[in-house]
Structure 1
Amino acid sequence: MNIRQIEAFHAFMETGSVTHAGERLGISQPAVSKLLKGFGESCGFKLFMRSNGRLVPTLEARLVAAEVERLIAGTERIERVAAAVRNREWGQVTIAALPALASRYLPRALSPFLAEQRDLRLTLQSRASPRIAELVMAQQVDIGLSILPFDHPDVTAEAVIRFDLMCFLPSQHPLAKKTTIGVEDLRNESFISLERDDCSLMTIDRAFQMRGVQKRNRIEVPMSETACSFVANGVGVSILPPFVGMDYPSDQLVRRPLLPKTSMDIWLLTSSRRPLSLAAQQLTEFIHAALASFQQPLPAAASEQ
């Protein structure tokens, strides 16, 4: 038996008429009769009896019809899933992102997208940048968002944005009155620092060293959002990415541009050995748009990479 015979049988059982079954399938009445005959021969028993010139299903035909109904429902579901995949509304995507993005900003930024794509399943992992590259290379995640590029033939690295680090201050801090904060202004200030293995720490320390300023580390924390919490409670100051601490009101925490400008990149890492699904492709487009507001001009060399 073949699927066309099954469709003809299902159409006949639902409409009760060879003519109506043909109309539903868009084929002639003789074509339906031929398909029904072939289906009966495949089953090996009588499916219909004639009564007053009409085909009447046998009990055996009704038993088969119950199974055919489930089969047709399954194929219709496959059609809906295929349409959803085609329209990028169905799938499963795994993202590994640096904690500064994964803890607060990405959940908030991606929520409107996920609210519209209700059949899309997302897994969001918070990982350090070196670990993100490893996960992408091993094809354990679909998308990696790292502040480190990764030079490996199995990984494609794209510079998404270049952002400027900012100075975070308690709202009542005397420096909060300034429109920009120089590294020199932070001399003798209690500094809330990220852990020693954080990839941004070397960049921040270099900015202090270039200005000959000794950074007074008072508190060391594992995540940028934790540093924001300490700043908002008046414990000290910090230098962090612009996309953290966005939920704090201005009467608790303020952010000011840092001079000299201290920039970092966010790299989007994907596997070069496995193409992204349609859903993952759409998600990368949305991530680009979500991060665009923090974009600083990328140098030509970074753009070419």
Structure 2
Amino acid sequence: MTLRQLEILRAVIRGQTTLAAAKLLAMSQPAVSNAIRQMELQLSFPLFERINNRLYPTDAARIIHEESEPLFAMHAALRERVQDLRESKVSRLRILSTPPLGHGVLPQVLAGFSRRHPQLRTFFDVRDLDEVTRGVESGQADLGFGLNLGAQPALEVEELQQSRMVCVFRSDHPLARREVVTPADLPARGFIALDAGTRMGAAVRGAFQAARQPFHFSVEVRYCNTACVLVEAGMGASVVDPYSAAFAGRPHLMVRPFEPAIPCTAWAFWSARRPLAEIGRRLVREVQLALARR
């Protein structure tokens, strides 16, 4: 039996007449009567007893009806899912981000976004940039966020904000008196450097070289957020991305422009092989707005 035949059987059982079933199904009465006859011929047993112009289901018809109800529940769920897809209301969004955005602006945006989209299930993880780009390229994630993204032919990218790296230190640090910090202002001891193997670490070293200043450090870390933690603890100063500094949530951390300027651009990206769903685009717009208000 087809799903349509089961639907007609169900409507006749509920309406008890072919006329009532026809109204439920938006069919003609003869079409319903013909469908019942075809089913009975196909099955080789009667489905209804006809008493006083009413149709009463046989035991066999009741069994078929009961056994088919889960199919209708699944069909209803599928219709809702298709409607969600038609309206771009996906129920799942998988997000990967690097630490500067993943430990700062993204949690703040996701908190409000999830409240406004209660049916959305979000999968969120923070990884380094290479892992994030691989995850998005492979389809492990729908949407990625990161800084200073290089050429990525397998990705569609959208710029979120152009900014520049900054110098961070405690409020009791001697640099607090300066409006702008340069490589010459940073002492050999008490400078927290970023790993030379990272894009931002290499950029900071390039800025020292451009200023013709020797590059010395007392501590080297991989992530800007780690540098902010050490700065807050009183271990010195560092040059980090502006997002780790702005969203660090540390009251004693001070931020100053760093010269020569080191560009730092925030990006959202997704696979070039699959269009980003509307719900993902909405999230990207909200992250842009949050960064603009920063």
TM-score range, shorter chain: 0.7 to 0.9
Shift of residue 219, structure 1, vs aligned partner: 1.8
Match of 1:174 in 2: 174
CA distance in 2: counterparts of 1:37 and 1:151, whole angstroms: 62
Show CA shifts across 1:21-63 (max 9, x none). 2222223333332333333334332110012221111111111
Letter in 2 for 1:184: A
Unaligned runs of 5+ in 1: 295-305
Shift of residue 215, structure 1, vs aligned partner: 4.0
Pick closer, same or farther for the CA change 1:14–1:242 going to 2, 3 Å. farther
Pick closer, same or farther for the CA change 1:269–1:209 going to 2, 3 Å. same
Match of 1:38 in 2: 38
CA distance in 2: counterparts of 1:287 and 1:37, whole angstroms: 60
Native 8 Å contact 1:189 1:216 kept in 2: yes
**Does the alignment pair 1:241 with 2:245?**
no
Secondary structure of the structure 2 residue equivalent to 1:181 = coil
Identity of aligned residues (%): 28
Secondary structure of the structure 2 residue equivalent to 1:270 = strand
Letter in 2 for 1:260: P
Give TM-score, length-normalised by structure 2. Answer: 0.85
CA distance in 2: counterparts of 1:41 and 1:290, whole angstroms: 66
CA distance in 2: counterparts of 1:265 and 1:286, whole angstroms: 17
Native 8 Å contact 1:10 1:68 kept in 2: no
Match of 1:64 in 2: 64
Letter in 2 for 1:149: G
Pick closer, same or farther for the CA change 1:171–1:22 going to 2, 3 Å. farther
CA distance in 2: counterparts of 1:3 and 1:233, whole angstroms: 67
CA distance in 1: counterparts of 2:164 and 2:40, whole angstroms: 73
CA distance in 1: counterparts of 2:100 and 2:52, whole angstroms: 77
Give the alignment of 1:141-160 within 5 angstroms. 141-146=141-146, 147-152=148-153, 154-160=154-160
CA distance in 1: counterparts of 2:141 and 2:286, whole angstroms: 17
Match of 1:272 in 2: 272
Native 8 Å contact 2:95 2:144 kept in 1: yes
Give TM-score, length-normalised by structure 1. Answer: 0.82
CA distance in 2: counterparts of 1:14 and 1:41, whole angstroms: 22
Native 8 Å contact 2:211 2:260 kept in 1: no
Letter in 2 for 1:107: P
Match of 1:28 in 2: 28
Letter in 2 for 1:248: G
Letter in 2 for 1:222: R
Match of 2:113 in 1: 113
Show CA shifts across 1:197-239 (max 9, x none). 2210111122222223334412222322222111122221112
Shift of residue 84, structure 1, vs aligned partner: 2.0
Letter in 2 for 1:129: L
Pick closer, same or farther for the CA change 1:15–1:178 going to 2, 3 Å. farther
Deviates more, 1:36-45 or 1:255-264: 36-45
Pick closer, same or farther for the CA change 1:137–1:265 going to 2, 3 Å. same
**Does the alignment pair 1:83 with 2:83?**
yes
Pick closer, same or farther for the CA change 1:20–1:43 going to 2, 3 Å. same
Native 8 Å contact 2:193 2:219 kept in 1: yes
Question: Which segments of structure 1 move beyond 6 Å, counting only runs of 4 or more?
Answer: none
Native 8 Å contact 2:17 2:53 kept in 1: no
Secondary structure of the structure 2 residue equivalent to 1:248 = coil
Aligned pair count? 292
**Does the alignment pair 1:161 with 2:161?**
yes
Match of 2:263 in 1: 263
Secondary structure of the structure 1 residue equivalent to 2:94 = strand
Native 8 Å contact 1:190 1:235 kept in 2: yes
Native 8 Å contact 1:5 1:38 kept in 2: no
CA distance in 1: counterparts of 2:157 and 2:218, whole angstroms: 36
Pick closer, same or farther for the CA change 1:282–1:29 going to 2, 3 Å. same
Match of 1:102 in 2: 102
CA distance in 1: counterparts of 2:266 and 2:207, whole angstroms: 19
Match of 2:2 in 1: 2
CA distance in 2: counterparts of 1:289 and 1:43, whole angstroms: 63
Match of 1:200 in 2: 200
Native 8 Å contact 2:105 2:290 kept in 1: no
